Amino acid sequence: MSVARTIADMLAKTTDRWAKQRKAEIRDANARWRRADRMSRRARPLDQTEAAARVMQKAYLTASANGTLPANPRQIYYAARPEMLRLTEKTRIASKYFTQTLLIEYMRRRRDVTATWNIAWDDRGHFSEPHTGREIGLGTLAVRDYIAKLRKPKILNAGVSAVKADTMGPDGRYSAVLFLEKEGFTQILEAARIAERFDLAIMSTKGMSVTAARTLVEELCGKRGLKLLVLHDFDVSGFSIKHTLVTSNRRHFFRHAINFIDLGLRLADVEELGLDSEATSNKGDDDKIAERLRINGATDDEVAFLLNEERVELNAMPSDVFIQFVERKLNENGVAKVIPLAEKLAEAFTTFERGRLAHAALKAELERLNKEPVDVPADLTDRVKAHLAENPAETWDAAVKAIIGEVDDSEESGDGGA
């Protein structure tokens, strides 16, 4: 081999080794850069959208007792807030931005996760059917329930209506009224069947009670003596709301003492349940705020807590904790099932037994009638159309009933004979 060839081979091998070494150095540098980038990205605070995406599913499951109860958006916010504060290194997460932007955007992007979520959004309107008197609030759960029950018309066989106790108002039906200063818990209470299990009426408002609410409170819990049990946030507004509900002002003067019980939240409840507080801004002079709080029933410790610009909402409790809290408070205050006097029970027993006997006597005859053939008019469709043309506000089934009535009238007058 020539000297020139040997030198060329040596140069080639040297170049190849250099190239491989250079590639290794580049790979190593890239690896270090990627590692440093990952570390820096882990170290930097997340923005609120990133943080919400990371914690939202866990927050919903916490608020909804693992999906076994509805949860309102504010409850999800409270469940998500501690971890979001840590991830974003912020001191405050705005609840309105969370519930109206972050939560909605997450649900839009992650339908695979949120399709079965049971969120109790506030009603923003009402929907009513013609003729049936059926009405629903335009909230998520109400609309979902309505859609789930949609079906084609059913024509039910003839029958006898069951005897029932017909009530209007509290007599024989409920002995207490549960008032909430907000409406977002209504569906949670319905899911737990609180009203049915404790025989109580439920009233809620958004904020301060209106005159109509106080008028009803006086009739039920003043004149008739029912217990008024009030649930409210532990904040300046919550104390004002509960006080206004039962106190005379220029809009309503109470002529009867109200059988009033404050269920909380109070400071003792907050401490017992370990609920998270949130910062708030009390507008006004501290001395005046403190005076108003004491007039509204706050203790010195509660005044000190609230003047420190801290507050705790009912929403700070997940749904299962909220239901347990309500159940405990109702039991502690003697709210129980309604049982009428012995005379009314005896009257009910007698009427129900007569109804049972009547139903047994008619059942066989009804079964026979339901099997009997019926002559359907050949021109029934045309007659229904004609009836609706004359009575456009009626329904097709009302038209069928009217035509049957016309047939019966014709037979009774002897005009329908062959």
pLDDT digits (tens, 9 = 90+) for 76-97: 999 999 999 999 999 899 998 9
Confidence bin at 135 (pLDDT 50/70/90): confident
User: The pTM is what?
Assistant: 0.68
Lowest mean pLDDT among 121-130, 172-181, 227-236, 256-265: 121-130
Question: What pLDDT does residue 213 have?
Answer: 79
Asked if residue 68 has pLDDT above 50, the reply is: yes
CA 93 – CA 76 distance, rounded (Å): 13
Question: What pLDDT does residue 322 have?
Answer: 96
Query: What is the DSSP annotation of 251-262?
Result: S----S---EEE
Query: What is the DSSP secondary structure assignment for residue 127, as one 8-state letter?
Result: E
What's the rounded mean pLDDT across residues 6-20?
66
- What pairing do the DSSP bridges indicate for beta strands 278-279 and 260-264? unpaired
Question: What pLDDT does residue 410 have?
Answer: 52
Confidence bin at 183 (pLDDT 50/70/90): confident
Sheet strands (E) in 16-134: 126-128
Q: Which residues of 42-66 are buried (b: 16+ CB within 10 A; e: fewer)?
A: eeeebebeebbeebbeebbbbbbbe
3-state secondary structure of 25: helix
Tell me which amino acid residue 136 is.
Answer: I
Confidence bin at 317 (pLDDT 50/70/90): very high
Report the percentage of the chain scoring pLDDT > 70: 81
Q: How high does pLDDT run on average in the chain?
A: 84
Contact 249, 357 (CB under 8 A): no
What's the rounded mean pLDDT across residues 46-63?
95
Question: What pLDDT does residue 417 have?
Answer: 41
CA 149 – CA 12 distance, rounded (Å): 81
What's the rounded mean pLDDT across residues 176-192?
86
Lowest mean pLDDT among 64-73, 186-195, 258-267: 186-195
Question: What pLDDT does residue 416 have?
Answer: 43
Contact 407, 387 (CB under 8 A): no
Which has more pLDDT, 49 or 213? 49
